[in-house]
Each structure stands twice: as structure tokens, then as C-alpha cells.
Chain A
């Protein structure tokens, strides 16, 4: 009986099973990236992913989001087989923040309009008023948590915000409606050190407050070690390191750097 109650909770949220992925198959540019790749992500975990250039980090995210199709294998999320689901259909339960600050928000709309659209994600977009005035107080309260003063700038176009401000806003937008998985692809890489620190703190705050399962790719080994409860290192389409819980907590940044250098030397970088 007790087993039955706990079983669903320990069931992983995401299962990538026997994934194969080859780019430009049959041409001179052929890249065989994944062969029988498997990854499970536990519900409520915060996974950081590091690895050399071209090791397949972004591709994992693209396969999860549906921006790229798998060649073979299956992807399950929350018991559903989402392998064939379109990217925009998956968006209802997968939120994503990109490396490019321009990707996660709409530059020609105002902050208010961006949030109003995100607020209705997955709903019907018909002839209702675009912005519900009575929701603005809620938006302002959300924005004030960023401590960037954006709550007083609801009417300005997002295109005129700084990269850091846009990434912070993109985080809010991606998590505005309840989602099952948050995907972050080097979302601080385009920011200066201070803004990236700020955005990382906001990330942690949002993930903890909303209890979201998160998968974060980063090139910053310090962030990878400091944040999250599981760390994966990728190399040529394979997981070469996978540390969870206490093992990760005890991880020294030194040994992580050593391991990283080891695989990089293999690549000749």
C-alpha cells in the first residue's frame, strides 16, 4: 500500500529513452551525435549541464522542446509520450529561456503586453481585450521581485530594455503559468558578470518559489557547481559525469575544472 503511494512521486518527470540523433545524415557533414542516449530527470530536481562545445547540450534541450525531431527513441514527460508532439504544443508545459535575450520576449510589444500574452499561455487568443487591466497589479508585484524597477515601466517597449532586464523578464514570462519543466540554455551567457549574477539569483528564486523542475545549460562551471542538486557533464553526445545530491554538494570546483580540461584536451581545444 505504502509502496503504491510513493511510487508515482519517485517516477521521473522526464524520460529520454534510446535516443538516436544524426545531423546531415549521408553527407560529408554528417554528425552522429546521440546513439542510444538515455536521460531521466526526477520531479522537482534542478539539473545543471556543462560540457565542451558541440557536445550536444543544446541538442538535448531542442529535442525536449520539440524544436528538433528525434531520429529514433522516445521522450516521455509526466507519463505522456511527447515524442511526436509539436514544439508549440509542448510549450504549454515546458518553459524555455534562450541564450539570446531577444528570443524570450517580444521587442515590439510593451512589458505589459508581453506579460498579458504570457498570462494567457495555452488559452484562447480571440477577440478578448489584449490586456486585462485588473491583472496589472499582479504583474507589477511579479516585476518588483526582480528589483530592476520594471514595475514602473509597464508601458515601455521591451526592445528598449537591457539584455539583463530582458532575460529577467523572459524568466518571469516563461514561468508565468504553471509549467512542468523549465529549460535554460546558457541564459546568462550574453550578460555582463553582474547582470548574470543577478539573473542567476532570480533563477534560483523563481525555481524554488514555484517548485519547478529545471534543466540549465551553462558554460560557467562555478554556476554549475553552486546551483542545482544534480550536475551532468556532456562530451561528444555522452554523459561523462552525473552527480546527484550529496555527491554534488561535496564536489569541489577544482575537480570539476580538472575533469573539464581533460575532455577539452581530448577535443584539442
Chain B
């Protein structure tokens, strides 16, 4: 029973933390219709930024803001490569992801793993500290939940603003944005900034929880968050009151549950990344089958474009 509870805590805690990234990827992938591979680089960027700043004694909340800004800058570069230099969406992401590896090395001063134990983080100081003292492990889960929900609510609010509506329009009909006198390229860049900002924030929060940053942590982040978005939509997409941001977060929790279950069944950790891809393919195939049954109004979506 204790083992089970312990696993549940880990799944929820990490689900909420990675859920922040899932919300970001929801924006680039679903709202903007942009398959953004920058994510594999901006996640460790957030982790490394957190490690560098907190080691230097910076306030952990400020570290969150700076990480968001760093991720947003990475997203802006991807967007500029795509919009201004007309490099394809996939390649723009790959280029920035690759370049970010060097950036992350510089930030961590050539260290692959940067621990920063016993320094103040959002989990062991202030509100997080108080929660941890009273609720022990559940305190961390609660803290992750709070951060994740604040992000989700802010994103929901943003998508209802004038700028947010235009962002949604630019993903589904760029000509419509042009007709409203706005440059759809600018909206793409903005969306990529938000998406990668949230991804880096997710990395920053995870680093603070683990009190350590890992430069190799980015591998598989695109796959994981896309899977979360797709699973969430397939399982809960038809629940009217649930916003897609929430279904993405729940999708992430379901995905983490699958991974944890496999690990518990004795799977070698070396197979983890492969399993991440396999679950993704399974989710994609299942969601296609589900939407094939459900949707009649065939708004042309090229489903081969991931």
C-alpha cells in the first residue's frame, strides 16, 4: 500500500510538472498547428537556467520567470527562422534544439548534471516549504498542482483575449489573420514563444523539485508532450466543460502512469525512451480510430503531419 501511494505521489507530482510543458505544446501543436521540436532543447534550457540561477542565490520564483523568458527567446528564434528565413517548421525546431545544446553547456559550465542541494527552491521555501512540513510528500504534489493550475488558468484567460483569439485564428486560417490586417508570421512567433516559455518553465520547476539539473533530460520531451496532448484529447476531448489545457495535463498524468507501470513491471530503464515512442504511436492510432468514429464534419486535417 505504501509503495502504491508513493508511486501515486510521483506520478501526480511529475504529471503536474510536465503538464506545464503539455500546455505549452498544446499551444504550438494544436492552436498554431506547428510541430515544434525546439521543446527537446528548451526543456533542459529551463532546468539549466534554474540550476545556474539558484546556485547563484537568486530567488526561486525569479528563476521561474527568467527560465520562462529564456524558453520564450528560444521559441522566438525558431519562429524567426521559419517566418523570416522560410525554413520549414520541423527543420527550424531541429536547428534551435541543436544549438540549445551548446547554450545549455555554457549555462552549466560544461557539466552534464548540476546538483544544487539544500538551496532555497519553490518546493522547500515559502509556501512550498510550509506545505512540505505539514503534508510531507503530498506537500510537493500540492505545490506542483498549484503551479500547474495557475499556468493553466493564465493560458485559458489569454486564449480569450483579443490577442489569444487571433493566435487561435492564425493556426486554423492564416488568410483570415491577414484579412484582419495582421501579420500571421508575428502570431506564429508569439505562439512559439509562449509554448517554449512554458516548456522551459516546466524544466525549471522539475529541476527545483529534484534540486538538480540534467542536460540530457530533453530527449523525448516532444514525444512525451505530444502524446499527452493526443491522449488527453482522445480520452476526454468530448467532455464539454473540460478545456483542452486541462485535457493535456490529464493526458500527461495518464502517460506518466503508463511509463511508471512499465517500470514497475521490471522494465530496464534503457528501454524507457523506446517505450515513450511506442506509447505515443499507440495513442495516435487509438485517437485516430476514436475521431474517425466521432467526427463527421470533415474539416481537412492532414493527419500524417505530426
Contact = CB atoms under 8 A, between A and B. Distances in A.
Contact of B165 (A121, A130, A159, A174): A130
A44 interface: no
Interface string B167-209: 0110111011111111110000000000000000000000000
Contacts, number: 89
Interface stretch (A29-37, A55-63, A107-115, A199-207): A107-115
A103 B173 contact: yes
B179 A127 contact: no
Contacts of B163: 125-127
Contacts of A95: 179
Contacts of B162: 116-117, 120, 124-130
Contacts of B253: none
A197 B83 CA distance: 40
Interface string A2-21: 00000000000000000000
A109 B171 CA distance: 11
Contacts of A131: 160, 165
Nearest to A93: B181
B186 to A, nearest CB: 9
A105 B176 contact: yes
B181 A127 contact: no
Contacts of B179: 91, 95-96, 104, 121, 173-174
* Most chain B beta-carbon neighbours within 10 Å: one of A117, A126, A128: A117
A105 B173 contact: yes
Interface in A74-119: 86-89, 91-92, 95-96, 98, 102-109, 113, 116-118
B304 interface: no
A178 interface: no
Given A127-B158, A127-B163, A128-B162, A107 B177 contact: no
A130 B172 contact: no
A160 interface: yes
Contact of B183 (A86, A129, A159): A86
* Most chain A beta-carbon neighbours within 10 Å: one of B160, B164, B168, B169: B169
Interface string B142-174: 000000000000000010111111101101110
Contact of A130 (B161, B173, B180): B161
B299 interface: yes
Contacts of B180: 91, 117-118, 120-122
* Most chain A beta-carbon neighbours within 10 Å: one of B161, B178, B180: B180
Contacts of B168: 106, 108-109
Nearest to B176: A106
B297 interface: yes
B137 to A, nearest CB: 38
Nearest to B161: A127
Contact of A92 (B172, B176, B181, B299): B181
A107 B165 CA distance: 12
A154 to B, nearest CB: 14
Interface of B: 158, 160-166, 168-169, 171-173, 175-184, 297, 299
15 contacts: A89-B181, A91-B179, A98-B175, A106-B176, A108-B172, A109-B168, A116-B162, A117-B176, A117-B180, A121-B179, A125-B165, A125-B166, A126-B163, A127-B163, A130-B160
Given A128-B162, A130-B162, 7 more contacts: A106-B168, A117-B165, A117-B176, A118-B180, A125-B162, A125-B182, A160-B297
